[in-house]
Structure 1
Amino acid sequence: MRTKILSGLLFAVLLSGCNFAEKQEVVEWKIQNDPYYKHKKSQFEVLSMNEKYTTMMLGDSITDEGQWDELLNNDKVQNRGISGDTTSGVLDRLNSISSNIQQVFIMIGVNDIMRGKEVDEVYNNYLKIIKTFKDKNIKVNIQATLYIGEKRKADFNPKIEELNKRLEKYASENQITFINLNPILAPQKVLKKEFTFDDLHLNGTAYKIWANEIKKYF
């Protein structure tokens, strides 16, 4: 009898555990929930009335880490990069574009791809970003998403290549500037070791090259 009672209790506990597991919701990762993103987005909103700046550098950590006013020797360039950002994250913060911005340099998409997003979704979000700026008569400069280094190239670089091809085609068809640093930084479709310490982010030499490449568009 005692064995039957214990067996019944054990079954009830297991059943309740199963029910609890079924009720647990899988929460999708979103950059919008990241504290760093929230803090930076909030700061950009507070600073959106600043009319000093005429050029925006927009993107993720690769943009965020650049000291753009010094690299370009131009104090009218604002940095609107957020580490970890994605195309959907950028879309959710385009309400803070300063009124005097005349042109934007965009590089975004690598985090989407590293998080498993399909190229179609990334590309469509990108077009929405471009449209937002075009609707405000802001000149758009699309910068190709950079290839990743040797360690993770097989996982992500094919999708990065596909995204870039589609963006370049769109830019050509819509009279938008397309800037591709990959032939310099990743001539073999892999980010060269001399330009990175972690196969993803850039060192000072790479930023100097980047800045020199885009100075001609000012």
Structure 2
Amino acid sequence: MHIWPRKKWIVVSGVAVCALILSFAAGFASAYRMGFIYRNTIRAVRWVMPFRPDNDVVWRVQSQLFRQQPLEGDVTFLGDSLIAFGDWRILLPGYSIQKRGIAGETTAGVRERLERGEKILPVVAVMIGVNDPMQGIPLAQTKDNLKAIVHMLRGRRIILLSTLYTGFDYTNAAVTQMNRYEAELCKTGACIFVDLNKAMSSGGRIRPEMAIDGVHLGWRGYYTWAAQMGPVLAQ
């Protein structure tokens, strides 16, 4: 049995206590401060415990389950919590959606899942990227992962969805660069780029009525997203 060094336990315990205090304080903070707390808590945790696929129980279990499940449906929705939290049976009743979203997922995580043989249908919609800047992942690495993801999905009809803006400016600057890169990737003919931000964002920020906490979507956000997807899936 592996035993962590005493110093690491002290650091982990300190981070956990700080996270609890910051979470309590967030209830009294402004939206900007909430974003600051969310971002820095995630970065602190990742500094102490860097993401390694086999050490992350949620990622390990869900990705293995996705590899084992039968390949059924019309379209795979691949990505992070924005995919995972949507009730696509209600949102897109005319389609059988194979949902492959993991909360907290990054472009590196999706790339790893595909490298390990995750099962994907001939039509796939990809929504990924917003967690990268929140975890301090360099933009160059995000772009490299996006390119690899599109390459590994080749031979399928790939619908690359724009990374959604958030309510936090520190994330949105990187999101703007991601979306430009995603659009350029699809100009090569490798994928179809769908800019959801046109309907869901304004002035480089997600519209308040679309999101619950500046990142995760409410019902109106999902309804608007589905309305943009319908015509694309019907093509």
Under TM normalisation by the shorter chain, which class is it?
0.7 to 0.9
Q: Which residue of 2 aligns with 1:159?
A: 174
Whole-Å separation in 2 of the counterparts to 1:51 and 1:196: 31
Q: Which residue of 2 aligns with 1:141?
A: 159
Pair 56,31 (structure 1): closer, same or farther in 2 beyond 3 Å: farther
Structure 2-normalised TM-score? 0.74
Change (3 A) 1:114 1:213: same
* Secondary structure in structure 2 of the residue aligned to 1:193: coil
Residue 88 (structure 2) pairs with residue 68 (structure 1)? yes
Alignment of 1:111-190 (within 5 A): 111-134=131-154, 137-149=155-167, 152-153=168-169, 155-174=170-189, 176-190=191-205
CA distance in 1, matches of 2:49, 2:71: 37
Per-residue Cα deviation, 1:62-84 (whole angstroms, up to 9, x for no partner): 11101112211045211001000
Q: Is the 8 A contact 2:79 2:100 kept in 1?
A: yes
Q: Which runs of 4+ in 1 moved over 4 A?
A: none
In structure 2, relative to structure 1, the CA distance for the partners of 1:31 and 1:84 (3 Å cut) is: farther
Where does the alignment leave 5 or more consecutive residues of structure 1 unmatched?
1-19
* Deviation of 1:175 (Å): 5.0
Secondary structure of the residue that 2:98 maps to in structure 1? strand
* Deviations, residues 113-154 of structure 1 (Å, cap 9, x unaligned): 1111111100110111111110xx1111110101111xx22x
Q: 1:209 to 1:96 in 2, by over 3 A?
A: same
Q: Normalising by structure 1, report the TM-score.
A: 0.80
Q: CA deviation at 1:40?
A: 1.1
Further displaced range: 29-38 or 85-94: 29-38
Alignment match, 2:118 = 96
Distance 1:76 1:190 in 2: 31
Q: Is the 8 A contact 1:31 1:84 kept in 2?
A: no
Letter of the structure 2 residue corresponding to residue 78 of structure 1: Q
Q: How many residue pairs get matched? A: 189
What is residue 67 of structure 2 aligned with on the other side? 45
* Maintained 8 Å contact 1:31/1:85: no
The more displaced of 172-181 and 117-126 is 172-181
**Structure 2: gaps spanning 5 or more residues:** 1-5, 8-46
Q: Percent identity, aligned pairs only? A: 27
Q: Is the 8 A contact 1:69 1:78 kept in 2?
A: no
Deviations 1:142-182 (A, max 9, x none): 10101111xx22x1111110111111112113352101111
Letter in 1 for 2:178: L
1 CA distance for matches of 2:194 and 2:157? 13
